Amino acid sequence: MNSDRLKALTDGVIAVIITIMVLEMKPPSGHDSAALAALLPQFLSYVLSFVYVAIYWNNHHHFFTLAPKVGGGGVMWANFHLLFWLSLIPLATAWMGEHGFQPWPMAVYGAVLLACSLAWMVMQAAIIRAQGAHSALRQAIGADWKGKLSPPLYLLGIGLSFAIPWAAAAAYALVALWWLVPDRRVRHVAARLEDDQAG
Amino acid sequence: MNSDRLKALTDGVIAVIITIMVLEMKPPSGHDSAALAALLPQFLSYVLSFVYVAIYWNNHHHFFTLAPKVGGGGVMWANFHLLFWLSLIPLATAWMGEHGFQPWPMAVYGAVLLACSLAWMVMQAAIIRAQGAHSALRQAIGADWKGKLSPPLYLLGIGLSFAIPWAAAAAYALVALWWLVPDRRVRHVAARLEDDQAG
Amino acid sequence: MNSDRLKALTDGVIAVIITIMVLEMKPPSGHDSAALAALLPQFLSYVLSFVYVAIYWNNHHHFFTLAPKVGGGGVMWANFHLLFWLSLIPLATAWMGEHGFQPWPMAVYGAVLLACSLAWMVMQAAIIRAQGAHSALRQAIGADWKGKLSPPLYLLGIGLSFAIPWAAAAAYALVALWWLVPDRRVRHVAARLEDDQAG
Amino acid sequence: MNSDRLKALTDGVIAVIITIMVLEMKPPSGHDSAALAALLPQFLSYVLSFVYVAIYWNNHHHFFTLAPKVGGGGVMWANFHLLFWLSLIPLATAWMGEHGFQPWPMAVYGAVLLACSLAWMVMQAAIIRAQGAHSALRQAIGADWKGKLSPPLYLLGIGLSFAIPWAAAAAYALVALWWLVPDRRVRHVAARLEDDQAG
């Protein structure tokens, strides 16, 4: 099974997720600087979610460069499972943005991030299983510290939501920053693989 | 006629349908756990519709792997006809989700699923006719029990909506689960066809 | 200039137009059959607009099969001009659907269809000019009766809107039906061209 | 790293931005000519933003024709950075359209255009750095007067917003018109490059 349409659908869903998050930010009803300032919590929520969605797209892009032929069966459903949780990010973002640093919206936002990270690990495992013993992806991700440590960090953020909500926001932002640092190994292997195919 | 753009348009429409269904779930106006719990019927409706749309995409993907060259005339309009009914799923989902287990929304939801399944059979027939006597798709689908039995099951659900609404929901969910079991024959033939093209 | 991205963008915009038109149909606030029946004018408006958008996509698909290499400069802006008017169809559809057969919404709907048809002729001319003396598209469209007679028919519909609004609706529907009849010449030439490229 | 998916995602995001801007124009609640006329400021805002988004897509298309192999690392994040600011155009357009020529909405609209133009310059620099000493893009853009002069012109518009708001609108429109004039050098080099690849 070829993964071209799987990638095209994923690109489409992620493109709409990004732009739908902006739709949830309603234009202010007033037209002065105070009306604009009141939009700030929603804007910051949007920035954080945009970065998360971009990170997922980026990783998806690298992973499927390492697995160009794996598009059927289990991988396809694992990908839909991931898209399901990603598709809830706009809703969680809007709820968090509209209520500032309130415990429940902060916790639900963290829970959606947690579910996305677990769905990611499931998809990773499905690809590696489909590739078999010499999986290029398995070699590329190595010990996968980022993947393994993110879920506990989201759990920490969910717990913090009910005690010090702003600390939960800080936890989510820090995990995003950590992921922004490029994953040298995956990209290195991906680049080599592309050279092999081209040469 | 090449089917590349037909597939690209279908991917685009399905990607937007998925993400628009989330838009119909409005962020709760409160910010406590009760506000979140009130979202549950809409969330469950979304899960069911997401699974249905994913199943249609999945089957569409497999079918057009078996029919890579059939993109013009009748097939194109049969595909638009299918997209029309699929595009009504978000509306039916929102109506069902906002009113819980009420008879009319449950029945309308089932009617949209029924129309989608009939549109699917029409498209299947159009592809087989376009492929001619040795249609790879006809061989792959075989007796097509799933396709033939789904419409009566949706009809049953529509009837149940006015008597025991939750049983209608159960019927729709069971059909979805049935379809989630992969269609071995189609995927087998599709995989073999891809190997032939590559080898 | 290659036209691949022009086609991809057009597919994306048309996919979103289709699905956004459904968003404009709000789920009824009641949950009985009367609430459902009240949705009928909006539903019929949606059907008509869906068919129009599908026709435009269909024709776009056939045209660019005849002009695979023409994606730059004038053609690109002519395509954006067409997309601009197509993008107004959801708004015009929603206004018409919410107010039934009222003169102004009927006339504005016709005006948007008129603008789309003129934008189509401009794009057709731009492609033919880009292809030069032996334009495959020019041969394929021949006398182009559909293209030339549609604008006067829309004008007629706009005029009827202020006298007999339902007759305007009938005029718009009849033009759509006329276009639904496949354009044999264009498709014939397109199919031959594809054979030439493949063979 | 191949740039195919980067282009596909960008096409998707831009397609949704265009169509979402129309969603922000609500169908008038009345159905007479006065209700239609009240939509005029929003319509004009939409026209201006549509043109801007089309210009960005056009330039993106030309740039990546000159840089077909540059899709990883810095370029990808520079592209997401650009998409982030482009994604704010619908919100800024809606705020400006709903309040006519008010100072703050006019200034915020200009600020979003300014941020887009700076993000564009960052992406241009990232591509040129990735291409190295003989960058085809660097040769194509030459002195890049348009790119360098646009930010000061947006700044001028932002300043004018608080003094003569309609003059700010005029400034934004004039910059758009200037960009509409095709960039002969980039397109010339792009066309030559395509010929080289084909020949």
CB-closest option in D11, D87, D103 to A18: D87
Confidence of residue C166 (pLDDT cuts 50, 70, 90): very high
CB-based contact (8 Å) between A18 and chain D?
Answer: yes
Question: Which parts of chain B register pLDDT below 70?
Answer: 1, 71-72, 182-199
- Neighbour-count burial of B185, counting CB atoms closer than 10 A to its CB (0-12 exposed, 13-18 middle, 19+ buried): middle
CB-based contact (8 Å) between C187 and chain B?
Answer: yes
CB-based contact (8 Å) between B11 and chain D?
Answer: no
> How far is the alpha carbon of A198 from chain C, nearest alpha carbon, in Å?
22
* % pLDDT > 90, chain A: 60
Residue A191 pLDDT exceeds 90: no
Those chains having 3 or more beta-carbon pairs within 8 angstroms of chain D are A, B, C
User: Would you say C112 and C85 are in contact if contact means Cβ atoms under 8 Å apart?
Assistant: yes
> Which residue's structure tokens are 């460069």?
A65
Which range (C61-65, C158-162, D89-93, D190-194) has the least confidence?
D190-194
Asked whether the beta carbons of residue C50 and residue B84 sit closer than 8 angstroms, the reply is: yes
CB-closest option in D20, D182, D194 to C73: D182
Q: 3-class DSSP state for residue D43? A: helix
pLDDT digits (tens, 9 = 90+) for C91-101: 999 999 999 88
Q: How many residues does chain D have?
A: 199
Distance CA B193, CA B187 (A): 10
> How far is the alpha carbon of B196 from chain C, nearest alpha carbon, in Å?
18
Residue A170 pLDDT exceeds 90: yes
* Mean pLDDT, rounded, for C77-81: 95
CB-based contact (8 Å) between D9 and chain A?
Answer: yes
Confidence of residue C131 (pLDDT cuts 50, 70, 90): confident
Q: Which of B16, B18, B20 to mutate to test the interface with D (most CBs of D within 10 A)?
A: B16
Tell me the average pLDDT of chain A. 88
Distance CA C76, CA A191 (A): 33
Distance CA C143, CA C140 (A): 9
Of all residues in chain B, the one with the smallest CA distance to D15 is: B12
- pLDDT for residue B23: 85
Start-to-end C-alpha separation, chain D:
24
- pLDDT for residue D199: 46
Q: Which of B49, B95, B108, B197 to mutate to test the interface with C (most CBs of C within 10 A)?
A: B95
Q: Which of B9, B13, B19 to mutate to test the interface with A (most CBs of A within 10 A)?
A: B19
* Mean pLDDT, rounded, for C105-117: 97
- pLDDT for residue C68: 76
- pLDDT for residue C199: 46
Question: Which parts of chain D register pLDDT below 50?
Answer: 199
- Neighbour-count burial of A184, counting CB atoms closer than 10 A to its CB (0-12 exposed, 13-18 middle, 19+ buried): exposed
The two tokens of residue D100 are: 């006519």
Q: Which amino acid is at B64?
A: F
pLDDT digits (tens, 9 = 90+) for C175-196: 999 998 766 666 666 666 666 6
CB-based contact (8 Å) between A129 and chain D?
Answer: no
Q: What are phi and psi of C159, to 5 degrees?
A: -65, -45
Asked whether the beta carbons of residue C9 and residue D57 sit closer than 8 angstroms, the reply is: yes
CB-based contact (8 Å) between A72 and chain C?
Answer: no
Confidence of residue A68 (pLDDT cuts 50, 70, 90): confident
Query: D121-126: long-range contacts at Cβ-Cβ below 8 A with a sequence spacing of 24 or more?
Result: D121/D147, D121/D151, D122/D78, D122/D81, D122/D82, D123/D63, D123/D75, D123/D78, D123/D79, D123/D81, D123/D82, D124/D63, D125/D78, D126/D74, D126/D75, D126/D78
CB-based contact (8 Å) between B196 and chain A?
Answer: no
User: Would you say B10 and C13 are in contact if contact means Cβ atoms under 8 Å apart?
Assistant: no
Q: Which of A16, A17, A20, A22 to mutate to test the interface with C (most CBs of C within 10 A)?
A: A16
* Mean pLDDT, rounded, for A58-74: 82
Dihedral class, residue D27 (left if φ above 0, else alpha if ψ from -120 to 50, else beta): beta
Q: 3-class DSSP state for residue B132? A: coil
Which among D171, D150, D148 is positioned nearest to D159, based on CA atoms?
Answer: D171
Distance CA C110, CA C151 (A): 10
* Mean pLDDT, rounded, for C87-91: 96
DSSP assignment of B28-58: PSS-SHHHHHTTHHHHHHHHHHHHHHHHHHH
CB-based contact (8 Å) between D102 and chain C?
Answer: no
User: Would you say B107 and B151 are in contact if contact means Cβ atoms under 8 Å apart?
Assistant: no
* Mean pLDDT, rounded, for A90-102: 91
CB-based contact (8 Å) between B167 and chain A?
Answer: no
Those chains having 3 or more beta-carbon pairs within 8 angstroms of chain B are A, C, D
Query: In terms of residue numbers, what domain contains D136?
Result: 4-198
For residue B12, list chain D residues with Cβ-Cβ distance below 8 A. Answer: 12, 15
- Count up the domains in chain C and report the number: 1
